[in-house]
Each structure stands twice: as structure tokens, then as C-alpha cells.
Structure 1
């Protein structure tokens, strides 16, 4: 388990260092209108979703705390409503860091139960914590949006991931269960797994349709084909690494075998937070030490 711990700590330190080093004056909040009254905000950290109705606003994820004032100004340019719901897709700081700054008396923070557990373990302040938690799924309503699904996916990026699907608007926010055109980070020490990650992507693919707009945890606004590409890539890697393990190849041999990832490396998948070596190590460790729900 030492290798799993190393990569998880490395990732946690990276998030912590990013928070400490963020200078808001150097960050631009980019706004993309997905469909009418639905927006994707990109800054530093996980993508934010803003959905506006007549007198309510729903927010998905809150990025890093130092960016909250800039994000608030951007939201104010879209809507004059208070934020009614703030939904966290999982517990990582680049998605929950601004929670306390957005959690006003009009706002209810929502997340899967394991998000609350992990944020409490991290000794986060009360204003940072989810006030409503779900086990498997809940349905939210806004005045002109009656079909908002928040659905837990098991042992994917973490053990507390949820996706948020606005059925009527046909837009889904996948959180870090999807990194567009990049190798994903799977947090094994937080309950993530390669099998759960693939299963989560397949479930979402079965839930949405060919015309659905996809907001990834990281990366540009996406289409269903982008999600299919991710599933195929991860299945390819899992199959190749499982085969190598069955032939008694060591972790180090697999990590340095460039042929396993060459096709996707050439497409730029390894240029993000997770390079090809780390991707292979994560999948190897996940297969050797699988995470499953208790």
C-alpha cells in the first residue's frame, strides 16, 4: 500500500500548495453559456456550474477559497439571486475550498455522505460542511427545473462522488469522474478505483443521451463522444495492465512500459495533472489493492 499512499499524498500536497500560491489577480474566471440559464465557470481548480431560475440559483462546486470574490462577481453578473443550493461533487479542496465563502443563510450545501465524513476528518469549519447529505441519490427542484438528479457513483474518483444531471436542460456536471482528454486522477486512499471509475462513466453514459452537454471536473465543455473516448481509453489501459500483471510484470516494469500508453500520450492525454507513468501506477495499484464499499 506504500505506493498508493505516496501518490495520494503527492496529490494532496499539490492541492495544498496550489491553494497557498494562488494570486487571485492572476486568475481569470471564464464563463461559458452552456444552454439558456446554465453556465460553466472555469478558473483555477474544478469547473463550476451555475444554473439560474426566476428567483433561485444553483451552484455546483466552489473552487479554491482565494478565488471566491472573483467567482462571486462573475455570478453576480449572471444572476441577482441568492444561491439556494451549493452541491459538491466530492471533497477535494479544488472543488470545496470556497464552500464557507458561499454558504450564506439562504444557501444549503449538499453532498454525498462520505464528503461530510472526509471534510470533518480534515477538521473543516462548520460553514464548510454539507448540511444535507445523500447516500445514493436525491432529487432537487427549482421553480422552473423540476427534474434535477444528484446521483452517487461508488468508488470512482473517490468514495463520495456524485454527478448532477439537469434532465430538462440536458446538462450534466460529472465532477472529477471525467477529465476531458486527460488522464484522470483516481484518489485510491479516498476510496477511488479504476473499476469504479469506469463503471461510473458507463452509468452516466447510460443516463444521459447523445445531445447532453457535459461539464467535466476539469477541461473544456464536452460532448458525449468525449466521454465515450475516455471510457475506451481507460478500458484499454485496464486490459493492458491486467495482462501485464498476469504475466508477472512488476509495477516498475509496467510504469516504464511506454507502449501501454503511447497511443494516448501522442494525443496529449499525459499533459495534465496525471502523466502516463502515474496513470499506469494508479491502475496497477487499484487492481492490486481494490477499493469497494463496505
Structure 2
């Protein structure tokens, strides 16, 4: 976001006015200037800058944040909260361990004491980032859960749950129950090749099962928040498309294995049938997924 003198004065005026406005009205007023902050429904919204999408619940009596991006972008988010006269975050929940979802924990820790995550999320965060030059900047969840965790906070009930290994071995979804908004973390890469993190415990069939269970649990009114994508919010159709991609990936690689192709030959494939149009947010994402499917199907 770029500021000139005129926009700075306008934003400053809105922030000053915000001292006398409820949180949800101030957020709406700031939309024009702070277009990476978007309200979805009932004080629940998203913040997008760099890394995985941050979800939030901001009311007059509580602040809950889902995922934390990177230290610099988390600091930008904290600045917005302070501008809105919120002096603390009551709760931060991490959907999984990847650094674009957890590195900003250190910035949030300045105004938040309680971090929550699935137990294996913490184990994976320590395994991959808890040593070397990254070790000193890691903030781990102080509250962990095995299957499911829930709390009533403000006027909202927030539930975090892990089902199966999917994108990693530690993916959770977070449901703002009253708003009927669900943060899916990186269970959805919307309209792009996902990242199957096999070293981090990913399992493609588990990911398919996970999405099918979510499709059963939630209705057509549910708003889903996605970690990455051309659009980072959507509905059940987006979950179906992601499931179909993963199914096509496994089926295509299975056919190639049956035809006698080696791992190296599978690595040379340049498409997945029905998803040739997808772009890659990062180089070699398709090849990583093809090899992950090969290794899963051959129990490599």
C-alpha cells in the first residue's frame, strides 16, 4: 500500500474517528484505504499482504487471529489493531507449521500471550525451523490439542480441528461458528497448483478425504478462507475443484506407474489432465506434486 500526503491525512482522520466507532464500523471505513483488510461477516475477515492469508475476528470485546505470515507483515497488521485502539490480541491460532503462517508469531507475541495449534504443528515447526539461525525467532503454541479444541470468546465460538494428514502432517481448520466462516489454511490453493509437502508429512489421499469430510460438514452459506489463491475466499465449489485436482493427480500418476514409467519419467510429465490451465505460484510446484504422488502410490 502506498501513501501520499492526501491519503495519509484521510487515513489519519478515519483512525481518529475510529476512537469513537465500534470496531466493525471502523474496519468498514478503512476498507478504501487499507484494501488488504477485508470484512467478510459478523466481525470476521481477512488480511492479505505476503504469505498465507490471515483470518481475524475483531469485536469490541475480543480479538482472535488465525495465522501470522511474516514478522514484517504481522507488524503491519498489529499497527492496524493499535490504530483501532485494540491493545492486545486475545488468541492466535496457527493452521499449520509453514513459515509463511507462523513466522509472524514473534510479532504477535508482543501483544498476545496465548497461541494455539494442533500438537503435530508444533512438532513440525520445531523440526524444520527450531534450529540454526531461525531458532531464536520462533514462537510456538502454548496451548496444543490432539483432535479438537474450542472456546467461546467475545460473541463468537471458535473451534479448531485436525482430521488427517493432508497438505502437511499438521493441518487444522478453524471455524468461527456464529459467523459460519471457516479458515482452511493451506488445505486450499485456489486456482493454482498446491504444494504437497511430503517431507512435512503430506498425504494426498488424506487430503482428498479431508476435503470430502469438510464438504459434508458445511453448507452453501459457509464462507471459506484459503491460504493462497487467485481468490482467497470462496465456497464449496472451490473445495470440490481442489479435491478433483488431487484425485486427478493420483489417478494420472497411477496410470503412468501401471504403464511402467519410472520416477524420473513421471517427473518429466508436464500437466495433469483437466488442470492444464493452472499456473504455478512457485517454480517446479507441479513436479513436486507428481513425485509426491509417485512416492505415495509406491510407498517409496
Q: TM-score range by the shorter chain?
A: 0.7 to 0.9
Deviation sequence 1:77-113 (CA, Å, 0-9, x none): 5562521110000111100001121124653100011
State the secondary structure of the residue aligned to 2:234: coil
In the other structure, the counterpart of 1:113 is 119
Q: Distance in 2 between matches of 1:252 and 1:58?
A: 46
Q: Indicate yes or no: 2:140 matched with 1:133.
A: no
Q: What RMSD, in angstroms, separates the aligned Cα atoms of the two structures?
A: 2.1
In the other structure, the counterpart of 1:56 is 62
In the other structure, the counterpart of 1:166 is 176
Q: Distance in 1 between matches of 2:260 and 2:85?
A: 57
In the other structure, the counterpart of 1:181 is 191
- After superposing on structure 2, the runs of 4+ consecutive aligned residues of structure 1 that deviate more than 4 Å are none
Is the CA contact 1:153–1:160 (under 8 Å) kept in the aligned structure 2? no
1:193-272 alignment runs, 5 A limit: 193-219=203-229, 220=231, 221-258=233-270, 260-266=271-277, 269-272=278-281
Is the CA contact 1:56–1:81 (under 8 Å) kept in the aligned structure 2? no
Task: Tell which structure's C-alpha radius of gyration is larger.
Answer: 2
Q: Distance in 2 between matches of 1:69 and 1:85?
A: 16
Deviation sequence 1:127-171 (CA, Å, 0-9, x none): 70100001101112112113x220013211111111101122111
Is the CA contact 1:38–1:50 (under 8 Å) kept in the aligned structure 2? yes
* Structure showing greater relative contact order (alpha-carbon pairs closer than 8 Å, 6 or more residues apart): 1
Q: By how many angstroms is 1:176 displaced?
A: 1.0
State the secondary structure of the residue aligned to 2:279: helix
1:7-156 alignment runs, 5 A limit: 30-77=36-83, 80=86, 82-104=88-110, 106-121=112-127, 122-123=130-131, 124-125=135-136, 128-146=139-157, 148-156=158-166
State the secondary structure of the residue aligned to 2:288: helix
Q: By how many angstroms is 1:262 displaced?
A: 4.8
Cα pair distance change 1:163/1:176, threshold 3 Å = same
Point out where structure 1 has 5 or more consecutive residues left out of the alignment: 1-27
State the secondary structure of the residue aligned to 1:188: coil
How many residues in Structure 1 have an aligned counterpart in Structure 2? 259
Point out where structure 2 has 5 or more consecutive residues left out of the alignment: 1-33
Q: Distance in 2 between matches of 1:188 and 1:34?
A: 33
Cα pair distance change 1:176/1:100, threshold 3 Å = same
